[in-house]
Amino acid sequence: MNTVPRAGLWWVYLLVFLALAINGAGAAQALFMTNDLGDTRTVLACSAAHGISMAEPLIVNPVRDGAAYDDCSRDYNVELGTTMVLGAVALPAAALLLMVLGGLAVRRRSRRGPNSFELEARFDALCVSQGLVGRRRPRLVLAARASGIRQAFTTGLPGARPWVVVPEAYAHVDPNEFEIVASHELGHVHANDVLWASAVWWTGWLPLPVLLFSVLALFEDPDAVWSFYGEHLVVSVVTAVAVLALRAALLRRRELAADRYAGEVLGDPRAVRAVLVGTTRKRPLFAVHPSVAERSTSGGQRWEGGLIVSAVAGVVAMLFYQVCHFVIRAFAGATADALVITDLPLALGCVLWAAVLIPAWTRRARASEAGWIGPLAGAVVGVVGGFEIQVPGAAPSLPVVLAEAVVEFIVLLGLVALTAAVLARAVAIRLAGATGAAARVGATLAVAFVLSSGIALVTGVLSATVLFDTTAMVRRLVVGEGAGSKWMVAGLVLIVGLALVWRRAGGIWIAVAGALSGGVAAALLWLLRFEPDQSEATDVVLAYQAWWICALAGWVVVVFVLLTHRGEPWVSALLLGLAAAVVAGLLWFVIVRLSGSGHGWSAFTASLSLPSWLLLVAVFATVPVLVLAARHSLNPSPLAWSAATLAVTSLLAILMTTDSLSTITLARSDGDYSFTTKYDPPPPPAANPNATRPLTPTDVTAAISAAAATLPAGTVEVPTPPRSAGPATIPSTCQETIQRNNAAEAATPHNADQTRTFTVPIEGIPDGVEVQIHLTSYKTDPHVLTNVDEAIHVCDRYAFPTPTFDNGVIRARMMARTPPPSPHPTRVLANLAYGTKNSIRRHAIGQTHFTTPGNNVIEISILWAYLALPPPPTVLATVDRIPNDLTTHLLASL
Amino acid sequence: MADELARSTAPITVAFSHLAKDIVAEVAPDQSDYLAAVTEAVEAGDRRARLLGGAVGSGVEPTVLAELIYPLLTGTVAQVLGAAGFAALQRRKWWRRKNKRGVRPSATISITAAQVAPMREACLAHGQVLGLSSAEATLLADALERALLRSLDDQ
């Protein structure tokens, strides 16, 4: 008997766990949404208090409203994120529990038949020969005929010894037949096939019922279920079928592997095939055993890493990215750094993709499997498909704007995925030789960063295309994606990762020629066009064009190395191309510095990173051409190809210089564009020097009357309620602070003080809006704004007991709003109070504008209420205008 | 002589399980005990265990005579007696029949001496259909013939 090394299938467990976690997170989000576990109404009310309407279509200016929206939705998002994390843990845990229960059920069914010492002895010898001793030795169980077990199988429980169950009939067969079947089962034990097969089984069967359960709250209205979750349910059904079909496909392959294992253990593959051939039957989609023909052949070297596994890895990786994006954004906030909420999840998903695919493809390369079309196609389909589909139960994670560019998105993402897949194949072939851990890790990260950089580029470019509809913005954005530290790190990892698996095989002179010609041409472009008094925008565009030339030089190197290679070319081609681009950029920088016309050291890093980035962009865009080039293997004469590199690079540089390539690279006018989201606040009211003077009661009365006269028709003046201490609050510090501040203001001597209250009718707010105008002229600084700041800090969240409301409490928040532009110090305080009375949710929204010209204080308060949903944006805008206009008129009339 | 002629044409009744026992005892006596377990299981309906996702199987079943004998006898009888005769063995209505593939071991057949030879030939042919080699099928066919002749003699 021979000892056979273990085959690792850790990647199957990883994909299974993540598939369950992804489905669990999605179902948890659906449960959260359909049951409103996060109190959406409070988010709506808080947003309304900030003047942000959540009515469709939602337009939230991230500059003006982003911080406020983030603040209002923070609690909701944290609860949503927590729920998703719990779901991601719960579903795998449930699957594990079902695996255990299923295993126990199988063991219970395997009613034991009579003992057979001879079979035990033979089995023991087989186990010892394979190192399956101690806790790893499986138990042999002879199943009684009455149990209905007719075939040998392996079963197991997580953490326990596996069982090899054989029917009682094997006590009466030829001993060799028993050894063959037992060895086959030991092949499954060796590979831990039972656990992953059981895990995948539940991965196929669990998600759909769990999703249905999570949307149970909507079942009263089937139309709503279909409307909101119809697509999710379809995806869930399709993925369930696909998972079970994949499980069957993998098991068929594992059966062949177990057959081969038995042949290797017993040293007689032919005898093994004769016994394990099975009976003739068709091969349906869900069959877990190979056909007679497959088992009869001497092949069986069917390693994982084909089309299906590659596609699954892509789908799981991209769905994993979506879930990470949801969860991280939920905890970090929508206005957190894009590096955290977008780039980090994308990197995690792409690293997962590379970490699963590259080892699988390395094994495939070692087994000298012919044909890479299937795996490459699977990888592309998996990445694109996984990005396009939603996590079942979860909201779409793609930017909404990309819905208008689906076809373009699929095509561009396909190009990026193909580039990454081709590179993954290349490194896998290199890694199939003897390499160390550093090479494996470096190459994996390199491929992952190529994919993540490309996906970020595609989503950014298409979003810009849809939003701005100008090619200039798109060109600037393409360049801009490589301008930050993100690409600095990714580019470095890419180069180092490729270098770790690189084996010198020609192309060096092509790279040298490319670097020199690119650097010189770029410098010439700069020197010819540079003018000392040129604007910064022109400066930037000129530099970018120069770096494009460096990148194009690198691209020529890539093409020519692919054309002239011997063996696998992509690692050399890309590495030499990147090196040429970087060196060309460095050469440009040195020449420009020496000429005294150029940039300071701040451009140094950009001159290294941007050419490499732009080269990668060119590779993404032209990968079909490059794949065709790689199919050739022309005469690698160094002199001829170096000269050709020089010539082609120079030609491309001339085309850049004459703006012939500006459409796809950069045009001179592109420097005029900026793609920063702007918010242009309204102009501040004109300053009135009289506003800061001490006011008499006559002044105050006249000013308020003049301002009140501008209120809409139908406004009615109502008695002003006396200023009260307000209800007791929880925490008590809030009320104490307000009372203290009120007392301090009352104690501050003043020249004049008046308050008038009005009810203003507003369409869309049933009871209208209460407007209070309060104008006080103090003799000294009353520190009102300081008091407001303190109150906001202390009373961020509070409650006050109200026996007439359900739960006996009204909850409230006090928040700072962005004040409108004003020539005087200003604060805007937003108030929100909400509670449930007789099962009806009630909301009260208030805002108070404080403007302090000198020692005078203008205080405009607005108060209104609504029941179910806040009013639409137009109504909120009307309400917001009232205090702004009143303040403006008051200042003007002082 | 008349008595002998009468005996040669008169049908005899023999149970499947009796034939199976005779054949196994002659050809593979070590499987006699196992045959008893098989007989009991087949009589009870012989439902296969469904293991769902909790197991990974080999996909093949052991080739033992005790497992093969009832399908062999079923096919042999069906070939000789024809569909009508075979259906008559199915005393239960089809929807109440647990073992849809064959007859129960307790079922009996009526054969005459003239049908012994055809039974042997049918067994030989059917055995090879079931995957037995020519020598194995011949062995079983001969054993069946002897079992049937013994039954006739016993009567």
% residues pLDDT > 70 (chain A)? 93
- Structure tokens given for A185: 């089962």
Q: Are residues A69 and A87 in the same domain?
A: yes
Predicted pLDDT of residue A369? 62
* Residue A427: band (very low, low, confident or very high) from pLDDT cuts 50, 70, 90: very high
Residue A514 pLDDT > 80, yes or no? yes
Provide the residue type at A24 as one letter.
G
- For B59, which of A109, A145, A289 is closest by C-beta distance? A289
Q: Could you tell me whether strands A163-167 and A153-155 are parallel, antiparallel, or unpaired per DSSP bridges?
A: antiparallel
Question: What is the nearest CA distance from A266 to chain B, expressed in angstroms?
Answer: 17
| A contact test, residue of B56, B129, B133, B136 with most A CBs within 10 A | B56
Give A303 or A42, the one with higher predicted confidence.
A42
Q: Are A845 and A863 in contact (CB under 8 A)?
A: yes
Residue in A with minimal Cα distance to B41? A146
Domain span at residue A36 reads 10-302
User: Does A288 contact B at CB distance below 8 Å?
Assistant: yes
* Residue A832: band (very low, low, confident or very high) from pLDDT cuts 50, 70, 90: very high
Residue A378 pLDDT > 90, yes or no? yes
Q: Is residue A2 part of a domain?
A: no
Q: Are A258 and A188 in contact (CB under 8 A)?
A: yes
Highest mean pLDDT among A88-97, A723-732, A872-881, B82-91: A88-97
% residues pLDDT > 90 (chain A)? 42
Predicted pLDDT of residue B3? 55
Question: What is the nearest CA distance from A119 to chain B, expressed in angstroms?
Answer: 14
Provide the residue type at B154 as one letter.
D
Q: Are A196 and A13 in contact (CB under 8 A)?
A: yes
Average pLDDT over residues A195-202: 83
Q: Are residues A518 and A484 in the same domain?
A: no
Q: Are residues A293 and A363 in the same domain?
A: no
Question: What is the nearest CA distance from A155 to chain B, expressed in angstroms?
Answer: 5
Rg (CA), chain A: 36
Q: Are residues A80 and A121 in the same domain?
A: yes
Q: Which residues of A touch B64 (CB under 8 A)?
A: 169, 172-173
Q: Which residues of A touch B44 (CB under 8 A)?
A: 146
Tell me the whole-structure pTM to 2 decimals: 0.85
Tell me whether residues B49 and A147 touch, CB distance under 8 A: yes
pLDDT tens per residue across span A381-413: 999 999 888 899 998 877 766 777 889 999 999
Of the candidates A443, A473, A501, which is a domain's last residue? A501
Residue A280 pLDDT > 50, yes or no? no
User: φ and ψ at A730, to 5 degrees?
Assistant: -120, 110
Question: What is the nearest CA distance from A110 to chain B, expressed in angstroms?
Answer: 9
Q: In sequence order, what DSSP letters do the residues of A47-61 get, joined into one string?
A: HHHTT---SSSP---
Q: Which residues of A touch B27 (CB under 8 A)?
A: none
Tell me whether residues B38 and A145 touch, CB distance under 8 A: yes
Helix-strand-coil split of chain A, %, nearest 5: 65, 10, 25
Q: Are residues A781 and A857 in the same domain?
A: yes
Range from A299-303, A613-617, A783-787, A865-869 carrying the lowest mean pLDDT: A299-303
Highest mean pLDDT among A284-293, A461-470, B129-138: B129-138
Q: Is residue B52 part of a domain?
A: no
pLDDT tens per residue across span A843-857: 999 999 999 998 999
Q: For A181, how many CA atoms within 13 A lie in the half-sphere containing its CB?
A: 30
Provide the residue type at A605 as one letter.
T
- Structure tokens given for A827: 């604060």
Q: Is residue A312 part of a domain?
A: no
Q: Which residues of B touch A152 (CB under 8 A)?
A: 57-58, 60
Q: What is the ipTM of this complex?
A: 0.85
| B contact test, residue of A104, A111, A151 with most B CBs within 10 A | A151
Predicted pLDDT of residue A657? 81
Of the candidates A615, A650, A674, which is a domain's last residue? A674
Query: How far is C-alpha B15 from the geometric centre of its chain's CA atoms?
Result: 9
Q: Are residues A523 and A547 in the same domain?
A: yes
Q: Respond yes or no on whether the N-terminal peptide bond of residue A269 is cis (omega within 30° of 0).
A: no
Q: Which residues of B touch A144 (CB under 8 A)?
A: 37
Q: What angle do CA A58, A63, A67 make, to 5 degrees?
A: 80
- Inter-CA distances, A421 with A128, A354, A627, Å: 42, 9, 11
Of the candidates A280, A302, A324, which is a domain's last residue? A302
User: φ and ψ at A841, to 5 degrees?
Assistant: -80, 130
Query: Using CA atoms, how far apart are residues A555 and A573, in angstroms rounded to an integer?
Result: 9
Q: Is residue A314 part of a domain?
A: no
CA dihedral defined by A428, A434, A439, A440, rounded to 10 degrees? Answer: 50
Q: Which residues of B touch A293 (CB under 8 A)?
A: none
Range from A91-100, A389-398, A460-469, A708-717 carrying the lowest mean pLDDT: A460-469
Domain span at residue B79 reads 12-43+65-154
User: Does B67 contact A at CB distance below 8 Å?
Assistant: yes
Provide the residue type at A364 as one letter.
R
Tell me whether residues B49 and A193 touch, CB distance under 8 A: no
Question: What is the nearest CA distance from B46 to chain A, expressed in angstroms?
Answer: 6
Tell me whether residues B54 and A201 touch, CB distance under 8 A: yes
Tally the domains of chain B: 1
Q: Is residue A311 part of a domain?
A: no
pLDDT tens per residue across span A525-537: 888 888 887 777 7
- For B49, which of A149, A154, A276 is closest by C-beta distance? A149
Could you say which residues of chain B have pLDDT below 70? Answer: 1-9, 51-53, 83-102, 155
Q: Which residues of A touch B34 (CB under 8 A)?
A: 145, 168-169, 171-172
* Residue A86: band (very low, low, confident or very high) from pLDDT cuts 50, 70, 90: very high
Specify the 3-state DSSP secondary structure of A143.
Answer: strand
Residues 122-151 of B with CB under 8 A from A: none
- For B54, which of A105, A147, A167 is closest by C-beta distance? A105
Residue A282 pLDDT > 50, yes or no? no
Q: Are residues A497 and A521 in the same domain?
A: no
Q: Is residue B30 part of a domain?
A: yes
Range from A104-118, A414-428, A694-708, A789-803 carrying the lowest mean pLDDT: A104-118
- For A148, which of B28, B31, B47 is closest by C-beta distance? B47
Q: Is residue B58 part of a domain?
A: no
Q: Is residue B54 part of a domain?
A: no
Tally the domains of chain A: 4
Q: Is residue B4 part of a domain?
A: no
Predicted pLDDT of residue A614? 95
Q: Are A148 and A89 in contact (CB under 8 A)?
A: no
Tell me whether residues A152 and B58 touch, CB distance under 8 A: yes
Q: Are residues A173 and A94 in the same domain?
A: yes
Residue in B with minimal Cα distance to A279? B60
What is the 3-class SS of B56-124, one letter each residue?
Answer: EECCCCCCCHHHHHHHHHHHHHHHHHHHHHHHHHCCCCHHHCCCCCCCCCCCEEEECHHHHHHHHHHHH
Query: Using CA atoms, how far apart are residues A48 and A55, in angstroms rounded to an integer?
Result: 10
Q: Is residue B126 part of a domain?
A: yes
How many contacts (CB atoms, under 8 Å) link A and B?
A: 117
Q: Which residues of B touch A20 (CB under 8 A)?
A: none
Average pLDDT over residues A5-10: 62
Predicted pLDDT of residue A60? 63
User: Does A276 contact B at CB distance below 8 Å?
Assistant: yes
- Structure tokens given for A284: 């349906």
Q: Are residues A512 and A644 in the same domain?
A: yes
Sign, Cα dihedral of B12, B17, B20, B25: negative
Q: Is residue A573 part of a domain?
A: yes
Tell me whether residues B58 and A109 touch, CB distance under 8 A: no
Nearest to A551 by CA among A623, A652, A463: A652
CATH of the domain at A737: 3.40.1000.70
Q: Is residue B1 part of a domain?
A: no
Q: Is residue A797 part of a domain?
A: yes
Q: Which residues of B touch A251 (CB under 8 A)?
A: 56
Residue A731 pLDDT > 90, yes or no? no
Question: What is the nearest CA distance from B65 to chain A, expressed in angstroms?
Answer: 9
Q: Is residue A680 part of a domain?
A: no
Average pLDDT over residues A35-45: 90
pLDDT tens per residue across span B44-74: 888 887 766 678 888 788 888 899 999 899 8
Range from A53-62, A168-177, B13-22 carrying the lowest mean pLDDT: A53-62
Q: Are residues A584 and A531 in the same domain?
A: yes
Residue A674 pLDDT > 60, yes or no? no
Residue A212 pLDDT > 70, yes or no? yes
- Inter-CA distances, A534 with A607, A853, A882, Å: 20, 44, 47
Predicted pLDDT of residue B90? 55
Q: Is residue B50 part of a domain?
A: no
pLDDT tens per residue across span A540-585: 888 898 999 999 999 999 999 999 887 889 999 999 999 999 999 9
User: Does B38 contact A at CB distance below 8 Å?
Assistant: yes
Residue A4 pLDDT > 70, yes or no? no
Tell me whether residues A144 and B37 touch, CB distance under 8 A: yes
Q: Are residues A701 and A822 in the same domain?
A: yes
User: Does A282 contact B at CB distance below 8 Å?
Assistant: no
Q: In sequence order, what DSSP letters do the residues of A328-366 get, joined into one string?
A: HHHHH-TTS-HIIIIIHHHHHHHHHHHHHHHHHHHHHHH
Q: Are A395 and A350 in contact (CB under 8 A)?
A: no
Q: Are residues A495 and A518 in the same domain?
A: no
User: Does A252 contact B at CB distance below 8 Å?
Assistant: no
Residue A682 pLDDT > 50, yes or no? yes
Tell me whether residues B41 and A148 touch, CB distance under 8 A: yes
Q: Is residue A307 part of a domain?
A: no
Residues 141-200 of A with CB under 8 A from B: 144-155, 165, 167-173, 177, 181, 184-185, 188, 193-194, 197-198, 200
